[in-house]
Amino acid sequence: MCGIMGYTGDRDAKDILIGGLKKLEYRGYDSAGIALAADGTIEIFKDEGKVAVLEKQLDQAMEISKTGIGHTRWATHGVPCKKNAHPHRAGRVVLVHNGIIENEKELRAELDRQPISDTDTEIAAILLDTLYNGDPLTAIFQAIKRLEGSYALGILFEDQPQTLYAVRKDSPLIVGRGNGENFIASDIPALLEHTRQYYLLNEGEVAVLTKERITFFTADGQQVNKEVLTAEQDLQSAEKGGYAHFMAKEIHEQPEAVQATVSRYYKDHTLFPGEEFNIQGTIRIVACGSAYHAGLLGKYAIEKWARIPVTAEIASEFRYNDPILSKEDLIIVISQSGETADSVAALRLAKARGVPTLAIVNVWGSTLAREADRVFYTAAGPEISVATTKAYTCQAVLLYLLALKLAENELACEKIAALPSLLERVLEQGEQCRALAQKFKQAHRLFFIGRGQDHALACEGSLKLKEISYIHSEAYAAGELKHGTISLIEEGTPVIALLTDRERFSKTLSNVKEVKARGATVLAVTYENADLAGVADDILTLPPCSDLEAPMAGAVLLQLFAYYTAVERGNDVDQPRNLAKSVTVE
């Protein structure tokens, strides 16, 4: 979603803002802008399109500005265009915003100024300017009492050209501490070139930054001291490292990411050392997108091995379904970013009802990580490409380890521990996936089918393909096809059949024969020596592995297939249209 970068110090603010915004491009956006403050004026430059488009305008920027804010916008209120791009100005106030002001309509009716844009953000700027009497902090505290919804705001006041203000609620924002300069940013990669030291802002907290000093206040105006943190990720992690795309790099980082995740939770032949679980009720896994698909795998594995009832639910549904929860349940919320608005809301709902919560999260210190009763971090490292790859695989691995822990089956862990070398072998099949991508790239629609864990894999493979290739794709439980969907199968309809689960092989095979009989072109993903003669037109074979390892190995193959299909179609692989890396609005 939107990206925010702010700077105050002695250097040229414009260069630092542009550099930071480029590092935040991965979040997904459709317009960009910066505001530069100096000598009682604030200049705004903004436009639809990429940061590179904005950069071309900056020749006209003021010579020296040492304080400024920048923004990449992912449109929610109003189409992507120059007028709606941030920063927004109202009188002496200029601000950038990530989130949604939910009471925008009421405020719009109440404030007697006509906004120029269609955005909710401009209403927040008008509100602040209305409340501003020369004391920025008082105006901010008053404004946040009126604003409903989610916001991370970077704010400049025209008559305070060397001070940067920030506040957040339900939207991510961090504060970077430099040497004689300070920063705000939506995420760590934007800071790394300048500093590793940063602070997390709690809900409703306000930060005031000058070049020498950062002061923090709680929402009710109390000054607070905060612990400075050190970012562990290196600069290279935000670079492509010789790959054409972040997605390719991240696909290839999976053996290492899985290794790091396994070693964190399986030490000296012991699973989750020091962790105890006593689940008398149901495990309810809640997540969005790919994290939900990892949850489907988790449900399959925990129920199969530990015989504990598990549900896997989509967070945006769960939060509004008034779920029937018991204090004996365990809510597991899964998220790469730890900031997904619906997942955060689901966690808060569970906590409010006194149900124990566990977050499986990749980003250290993210909202879910901070608010859950317990956190298990995946060790995937920073993931930049919008399409998740290594974070998904690590989520699945962690859930399988958890399933084995709950089943008190530590023996099978050796198989999970061997996964990194298995994934290395899967990665050797890149060329085969590329050749198949050439064959399938013209498809207008296709189907993924599978049973059991292969159904979860089908859901993930299908999402991965459609989000970056823009080919319409549907995932189906193989046995469900004949209850309606099979009517769509005709001569040449591509069907990707997942047959990696030996227990269900013959059942799925029957379904594959049914679609084949109706003219489907079948690509089968299966294990070694599986007998598919006369049924599959093409086969991708997993290296020798057990059923326990197959969903991770299969996921990597399908990621490669999706990646090459998107490349063949000439798409923007890392930043697919309309998508954001971290969905911080509901």
Q: Which residues here bind ligand M6R, judged by CB under 6 A?
A: 288-291, 335-337, 340, 343, 386-388, 463, 467, 582-583
Give the distance, in angstroms, between the CA of residue 219 and the centroid of all CA atoms in the same chain.
27
Answer positive or negative: Cα dihedral of 56, 119, 200, 144: positive
Q: Beta-carbon neighbour count of residue 370 at 10 Å?
A: 15
- Minimum CB separation of residue 247 from ligand M6R in Å reads 9
Q: Which of 360/553 has CB closer to ligand M6R?
A: 360
Question: In Å, what is the CA distance from 557 to each residue of 70, 460, 461, 464?
Answer: 39, 11, 9, 11
Q: Which two tokens stand for residue 223?
A: 């000054």
Least Cα distance to 338 among 364, 312, 313, 316 occurs for: 364
Q: Which residue is nearest to ligand M6R (CB)?
A: 289
Q: In terms of DSSP bridges, do strands 357-361 and 374-377 run parallel, antiparallel, or are they unpaired?
A: parallel
- Minimum CB separation of residue 138 from ligand M6R in Å reads 36
Sequence-distant (6+) residues with CB within 8 A of 265 are 271, 272, 376, 398, 401
Q: Which two tokens stand for residue 531?
A: 């007998």
Q: Which of 387/419 has CB closer to ligand M6R?
A: 387
Give the three-state DSSP class for 541: strand
Q: Which two tokens stand for residue 348?
A: 């808060």
- Measure the CA angle with vertex 353, ends 349 and 358; round to 5°: 65
Q: Which of 67/335 has CB closer to ligand M6R?
A: 335
Give the three-state DSSP class for 529: coil
Q: What is the rounded CA–CA span in Å between residue 295 and residue 564?
A: 26
- Minimum CB separation of residue 225 from ligand M6R in Å reads 30
Q: In terms of DSSP bridges, do strands 41-48 and 206-209 run parallel, antiparallel, or are they unpaired?
A: unpaired
- Minimum CB separation of residue 539 from ligand M6R in Å reads 25
- Minimum CB separation of residue 582 from ligand M6R in Å reads 6
Looking at the DSSP assignment, which residues form a beta bridge with residue 71?
A: 4, 33
Burial of 83 (0-12, 13-18, 19+ CB in 10 A): middle
Q: What is the rounded CA–CA span in Å between residue 483 and residue 495?
A: 17
Contact 525, 508 (CB under 8 A): no
Q: In terms of DSSP bridges, do strands 330-335 and 357-361 run parallel, antiparallel, or are they unpaired?
A: parallel
Burial 515-526 (b: 16+ CB within 10 A, else e): bbeeebbbbbbb
Q: Which of 343/473 has CB closer to ligand M6R?
A: 343
Cis peptide before 161 (omega within 30 of 0): no
* Helix, strand, coil in percent for the chain, rounding step 5: 40, 25, 40
Residue with tokens 């969005």: 288
Q: Which of 473/582 has CB closer to ligand M6R?
A: 582
Q: Which of 304/374 has CB closer to ligand M6R?
A: 374
Give the three-state DSSP class for 44: strand
Contact 351, 215 (CB under 8 A): no
Q: Which of 171/343 has CB closer to ligand M6R?
A: 343
Q: Which of 200/346 has CB closer to ligand M6R?
A: 346
Residue 115 backbone dihedrals phi, psi, to 5 degrees:
-70, 155
Catalytic residue IDs? 2, 581
Q: Which of 340/393 has CB closer to ligand M6R?
A: 340
- Minimum CB separation of residue 463 from ligand M6R in Å reads 6
Q: Which two tokens stand for residue 448?
A: 């993924």
Q: Which of 115/381 has CB closer to ligand M6R?
A: 381
DSSP character at residue 87: P
- Minimum CB separation of residue 483 from ligand M6R in Å reads 26
Contact 296, 313 (CB under 8 A): no
Q: Which of 11/569 has CB closer to ligand M6R?
A: 569
DSSP character at residue 418: T
Looking at the DSSP assignment, which residues form a beta bridge with residue 168?
A: 152
Sequence-distant (6+) residues with CB within 8 A of 263 are 379
